[in-house]
Amino acid sequence: MNTVAQLLSFATKELKTDKRINNVEFEASYILSEVLKVPRLQLALIREKLVNKKEQEKIENAILERVGGKPLQYIFSETEFLGLVFKVSQKVLIPRIDTEFLIDRVATDIKEIFLSAEGYLDRSGFDRPNIKVLDIGTGSGVIAICLKSLIPCLDIDAVDISQAAIKIAKQNAANNEVLINFFVSDLFVKVSDSYDVIVSNPPYISAEEYLQLPDEIIQYEPESALRADEQGAYFYRRILDEASSYLKPNGKIYFEIGSKQALKVKRLSEKAGYRITNIDKDYADLDRVITIEKA
Ligand SMILES: C[S@@+](CC[C@H](N)C(=O)[O-])C[C@H]1O[C@@H](n2cnc3c(N)ncnc32)[C@H](O)[C@@H]1O
């Protein structure tokens, strides 16, 4: 039997053989922490502990899968996002840090514009305002679930064309103890309500850009969650074309966008009778979130 320290050093050495893995020490400790069910930062406290044969096998298998290119989140079927834990499988995209900006913008606007306009922030907080949100292309459910956790009074519908994604999103909502109405729909096809907020992180990678993505993404993440026709603009165009029947008079649309898509989405918005009120940048100072309302 080996100790935690020995297996950490073994994992580090093996992961180093794959040049695609940048943060080898972090990933080695992540693997041990997941298998041994010990928080990563506490591994240092159990360095001399012996690891049993079954756990060692799991660690070795995880290293093999990782060196084969599989993302850690798919190896362990979960990921952490904005302080919550989400189940993921290869049927859904691994939530990206970019999407935090989208959630942050939507949550801030809901509090500052929608809730304060109705006087809810001055009263007992979030009692029963009727603020309806639609999340299009919910995937693992991260956007809907984080919004509902941040602002529990919201009434959220969330759709995806993938039945498998909706199943995972429902499990994630249950695990995180929030109520969201998830259903399968090709964009608005099964949607009948109208909303204060329509939010979407749709597929937005053009066919050309898709081919340049790292193998790890192409091989493991669902193409249907990433690639979009019309040079990445297909879903923005369709959502903007159809949204007016589903948006309340003062409603807003929030999109996560590719860093070079702001101008394209601006043109599509104007063509569909909307205007852009805000473009937020991400940590790398790239355009990432666009806010749209009726012109
Ligand atoms: C970029 S992923 C976003 C997943 C998740 N919202 C997130 O931010 O991590 C796009 C999602 O849109 C879904 N999707 C693709 N085409 C769709 C369509 N026609 N109608 C609804 N959802 C669609 C995909 O299945 C995928 O889950």
Could you report the per-residue pLDDT of 250-277, keeping only the tens digit for each? 999 999 999 999 999 999 999 999 999 9
Quote the ligand 1 centre to 140 CA distance (angstroms): 9
Angstrom distance (rounded) from CA 30 to CA 51: 15
Q: What is the pLDDT of residue 113?
A: 85
Cα→Cα distances 74→65, 160, 242, Å? 10, 20, 34
Q: Where does the pLDDT of residue 129 fall: very low under 50, low under 70, confident under 90, or very high at 90 and above?
A: low
CATH for the stretch 84-294: 3.40.50.150
Q: Where does the pLDDT of residue 114 fall: very low under 50, low under 70, confident under 90, or very high at 90 and above?
A: confident
Per-residue model confidence as pLDDT tens digits over 228-241: 999 999 999 999 99
**pTM listed for this prediction:** 0.94
CB 80 within 8 A of CB 38: no
Domain 2-69 is of which CATH architecture?
A: Orthogonal Bundle (1.10)
Angstrom distance (rounded) from CA 1 to CA 171: 37
Listed by start position, the domains of the chain span 2-69, 84-294
Phi, then psi, of 274 in degrees rounded to 5 = -120, 170
Which residues, judged by CB distance below 6 Å to any ligand atom, belong to the binding site of ligand 1? 92-93, 95, 99, 136-139, 142-143, 159-162, 165, 186-187, 201-203, 224-225
Q: What is the pLDDT of residue 256?
A: 98
User: Region 173-194: what's the mean pLDDT?
Assistant: 98
